[in-house]
Amino acid sequence: MAHTVSVSKWAFAFSFFFSVSECFITIPLKIYRGSYNVSSTVDLTRRVVLTSDGNGLSLASDPTGTVNFLDMVNNLQGDSGRGYYIEMSIGTPGQKVNILVDTGSSNFAVAAAPHPFITHYFNTALSSTYQSTGRTVAVRYTQGNWEGELGVDLVSIPKGPNGSISINIAAILSSEGFFLPNVNWQGILGLAYPMLARPDSSVEPFFNSMVQQLGIPDIFSLQMCGAGLSASSTADPAGGSLIMGGVEPALYRGSVWYTPIVEEWYYQVEVLKLEVGDQNLELDCREYNMDKAIVDSGTTLLRLPVNVFNAVVEAITRSSLIQDFSSGFWDGTKLACWMKGETPWRFFPKLSIYLRATNTSQSFRITILPQLYIQPITDVDGTMDCFRFGLSSSANGLVIGATVMEGFYVVFDRVQQRLGFALSSCAVSGGVALSEIAGPFSAADVAANCSGGMLKEPLLWVISYALIAVCAVVLIILLLLLVLPCRGRNLSGEITDESSLVRHRIK
């Protein structure tokens, strides 16, 4: 970002500081429940010794008992619209709470005060092991925000690795737009890197603490089973699995395809191109990575930079059998409804995202069918089913959210700094697989670095702090000049408010 020399250092420093002082992280929107019984597709009687897939991933069950991946299958509840959450026990004696799983933030935060939209909260006064650090913390998301205090307490996960761990906890004392009506979670589990932790990266994230204290591999994997479900269903939430410490092969089909993690803050990846049906959008690959491209389980939709979003809508409209859709459907303000039994899937094309492979001269393609992005929301009078568009425009980069993730089993391999995608065993509806993976393809037709050119948030923080430090030094010098006698000056030697140095630096 270019700045002219004439910009005042003071104005530049403070405006720059405030412009980067917010952490924008999305949390889910409200929709209705869906259901899927993933256990019917998993052989829960299987017990296999811990092995490796040849690429350093832990598979199946750990015979020592620390990690039993099959015990973690189906440990999530929820759906894409209201988020996927896991049950935890916090404090001594343990208080059970449901915690939203979010790979797009890094704080472990839980309600510590009553709120009209939650049924219960973590009462710090009832835990003999809770210790406040005396530090305050606040996080602002794209939707909602909260404030509270930092503390430390013991946490265990009933359907997770064995043992209790000492965890940094943000006790939420007040919030706005964060807890939503009809959600069944009382906190958020940020699974991203320390760089995103607030108030600073010295607050060790939950999964980092788990790896250090329990000795499990620095890998987790995520299956979200809301794909293709009717949101108006009255059945139990869809659910899914958060496998901490490795990968459970029963949850995916075929091979795992890997893409490098570009930078360890969010789970940032490099998107090379998008296709609508078989049509390449023909955009410069840097358009897809404008600001950043991340994989975020806490974001409901597939969010695209404005230019990319407009190109996708235009391509869908051009290829769709329905040419006169209301603009409100595309921008998320209106639903599209069909008579019951007349599903809209045949009217829409597939969407494909090409990711750079670990062999950087190659790419692979993840594809979602329209059942994943034309999403059932509710019915009308029992005669019509209504759907929403599962994509939205974004001012904060491309976000691969639940709309896409529900089609795949996603491996967060932090050891080898890569993300893996495989076909999810639960991304099937009516016997039809709702997602596809193909590759490898040559990446010779795209730039060597599609994610370059934009300053990242951590770097902006460093620059802003450096500028403030420089300004502070200048201010100290000015104050010293104001109060110390100066040699060689006429009269009293004072620097008055007519000094050009003072006036033009502060103006």
Weakest-pLDDT range from 10-24, 106-120, 135-149:
10-24
Count CA atoms within 13 Å of residue 65 on its CB side. 2
Q: Quote the pLDDT of residue 254.
A: 95
- State phi, psi for 469 to the nearest 5 degrees: -60, -45
Decide if 296 is catalytic: yes
∠ Cα 253 258 262 (to 5°): 150
Q: Quote the pLDDT of residue 485.
A: 47
Q: How far is CA 283 from CA 271, 287, 447, 449, 493, in A?
A: 11, 7, 12, 15, 63
Chain position carrying tokens 């009462």? 123
Rounded distance, CA 468 to CA 64, Å? Answer: 52
Segment (H or E) for 257: strand 252-260
Structure tokens at 310: 């407009």
CA 35, chain centre distance (Å): 23
What does the pLDDT look like over 101-122, one tens digit per residue?
A: 999 999 999 999 999 999 999 9
- State phi, psi for 163 to the nearest 5 degrees: 115, 160
Weakest-pLDDT range from 78-92, 222-236, 290-304, 441-455:
222-236
Weakest-pLDDT range from 11-20, 97-106, 258-267:
11-20
In this structure, the number of other CB atoms found within 10 A of the CB of residue 425 comes to 20
What does the pLDDT look like over 179-216, one tens digit per residue?
A: 988 889 999 999 999 999 999 999 999 999 999 999 99
What does the pLDDT look like over 148-168, one tens digit per residue?
A: 999 999 999 999 998 999 999
Q: How far is CA 219 from CA 53, 66, 415, in A?
A: 13, 14, 7
Segment (H or E) for 433: strand 432-433
Residue 460 scores a pLDDT above 80: no
Structure tokens at 172: 């939420």
Q: Quote the pLDDT of residue 390.
A: 94
> Given the DSSP bridges, would you call strands 95-102 and 187-190 parallel, antiparallel or unpaired?
parallel
Q: How far is CA 202 from CA 106, 107, 117, 194, 197, in A?
A: 11, 11, 31, 7, 8
Chain position carrying tokens 């479900």? 229
Taking each helix axis from N to C end, the angle separating 457-483 and 9-19, rounded to the nearest 10 degrees, works out to 140
Residue 39 scores a pLDDT above 50: no
Structure tokens at 482: 């104001």
Structure tokens at 142: 């794209």
Q: Quote the pLDDT of residue 227.
A: 77
In one-letter notation, the amino acid at residue 157 is I
Contacts of 199 (CB under 8 A, 6+ apart): 135, 136, 137, 138
Q: Give the neighbor-by-neighbor strand order of the sheet with 336-339.
A: 336-339, 384-389, 374-380
∠ Cα 277 279 281 (to 5°): 120
∠ Cα 42 160 220 (to 5°): 80
CB 232 within 8 A of CB 378: yes
- Which of 62, 71, 79, 296 is catalytic? The answer is 296
Decide if 218 is catalytic: no
- Record the pTM: 0.79
Percent of the chain exceeding pLDDT 70 equals: 74
CB 364 within 8 A of CB 356: no
Contacts of 254 (CB under 8 A, 6+ apart): 422, 423, 437
Residue 340 scores a pLDDT above 60: yes
Q: How far apart are the first and last CA of the chain?
A: 23
Q: How far is CA 318 from CA 123, 276, 331, 342, 347, in A?
A: 55, 10, 17, 21, 11
∠ Cα 24 417 256 (to 5°): 105
- Which of 71, 102, 385, 413 is catalytic? The answer is 102
Nearest to 22 by CA among 460, 336, 474, 417: 460
Residue 18 scores a pLDDT above 70: no
Structure tokens at 21: 């002082």
pLDDT band at 501 (very low <50, low <70, confident <90, very high): very low
Contacts of 136 (CB under 8 A, 6+ apart): 147, 148, 149, 150, 199
Q: Is 201 helix (H, G, I), strand (E, B) or coil?
A: coil
Alpha-carbon torsion 57, 61, 64, 68, what sign? positive
